[in-house]
A and B are shown apart, each in its own frame.
Chain A
């Protein structure tokens, strides 16, 4: 079985003060996808794991780390047009750059597409693959691979993975992957091959479709103001009002929706409003 992981590299300025080579690293969702793929190795002897990324040559050091972690090979697809292109072009580059040769493709929830989360669908459409999202674990039984999917409300579903499929990793904390130093040093000497995207059809339409015109201030944190209990002591009421801050969503002021009930009841109303309670 051949499995390809779609890899995304991000710039992390916090790495500048460390011992890493540069400030680039694999993004958290890619690390989750990578750990899912690596979990197959001990369960499935003979599985071949590959990595592919759509990015420039500066991405090579973090990509070489994936070789040390256990991928058999890693490749990049890149051309200057891709820097300005959007999801369909990146998907075409990845699909024709080697991802299409695999039995399964694993990617993070925000892999390789500026975090849009739409790239898996685009790649799957190009390659004619079904998608399974929110995959939290992969196991192997006598019939093949089983994907455990994280559902809402504490539900877990197990699905049989067909011969060819795309699996999108669940949003989980990034795992720590620390290969032995000897393997890391050896991987640094491996050349990461670069391919020019074979499909130019979509890339022609890439630049200018969506372009960043400027940046603005961040969105304010959504806050909810909880009304103090009417029976609370004046000092407690004042402390509560001081701690809660303004309620805001997209600049609109939100009331708590409180009906004069206690704090627990008001909190329940907020949880319902935010969709955490059905």
Chain B
């Protein structure tokens, strides 16, 4: 059955937001499987991700103004589905559109398929212990796509020129008073998006200096296991675990931490866990997304060197300047 699908993504001046790229991928996949057409709307100045887009638009503005334009596109486009990336801006847009157009919403979907004639979306349920399959009974429907849903469209596909859409210029509702970039030492371990944590395997205070440098490059903070705190390598305020602080960052890099239960209880809610440990049987590997058996003091400097080579000059200088604990 030929169906039309609209992908709504968000991006900065150069690229699509990493939490929105999956929406484009899922739209491409669905259009191919249903022999339909996929259109894309990019919020921001980024070019559309490579792929076979029948039509492409872009707009810049606040969510309040973007909702008018997007609602018009949906009304005129005859879409079965509108898939959106999982960013705060796009979730707000989905909520506003659901009310404005009285549309059903499925959130955190990672798959879309036809089953016995019904369109079924799958999403995590019961804290990830099961997958819920939901039948969509009314169209068009809004689907907020889980960032892990699908690979982004292949870069070998052709690039598409996006047509700019006119959005009324309205002042932002919230006045920005100040913006600052916190160094790892200034950032509480509980509020960081990225936590680079070390344990006994780091080997000493010098090892933690390298972890701080890595945290600065990733815009994060430094954490530690109880052992590292007891040895006096880092202050207690940095301790993660049952007798320390609980954290739930997007990225948790555990360096030289075995993963005893009293530590993992404080970090298991992290979205993405990287574990580096010289012991292949360390329990931390059971919950890690990336498991590396090796010496922290060899791997971390190599990682820092690679990230420094990728970082633009200004970012690198800012990161190094703010690296002091």
Contact = CB atoms under 8 A, between A and B. Distances in A.
B320 interface: no
B72 interface: no
11 contacts: A118-B107, A120-B91, A121-B91, A153-B218, A154-B182, A154-B221, A157-B179, A173-B248, A219-B131, A264-B299, A271-B218
Interface in B253-300: 269, 272, 274, 280-281, 285, 288-294, 298-300
A146 interface: yes
A264 B305 contact: yes
A62 interface: no
A220 B141 CA distance: 27
What bracket does the count of chain A residues touching chain B fall in?
Answer: 35 or more
Interface of B: 18-19, 21, 62-64, 67, 86, 88-89, 91-96, 98-100, 102-108, 110-111, 118, 120, 122, 124-126, 128-138, 141-142, 144, 147-151, 173-184, 187, 190-194, 218-221, 245-248, 250-251, 269, 272, 274, 280-281, 285, 288-294, 298-307, 310
Contacts of B108: 115-117
Contacts of A147: 174
Contact of B95 (A121, A202, A244, A274): A121
A6 interface: no
B248 A267 contact: no
Contacts of A159: 174-177
Contact of A161 (B174, B184, B248, B301): B174
Contacts, number: 291
Interface of A: 86-88, 91-92, 113-126, 130-134, 136, 146-147, 150-162, 165, 168, 170-174, 202, 205, 208-219, 221-224, 226, 229, 236, 239-240, 242-245, 249-250, 252, 262-265, 267-268, 270-272, 274-277
B283 to A, nearest CB: 11
Contacts of A131: 63, 92
A154 B125 contact: no
Contacts of B305: 264
Given A118-B98, A121-B91, A154-B182, A263 B132 contact: no
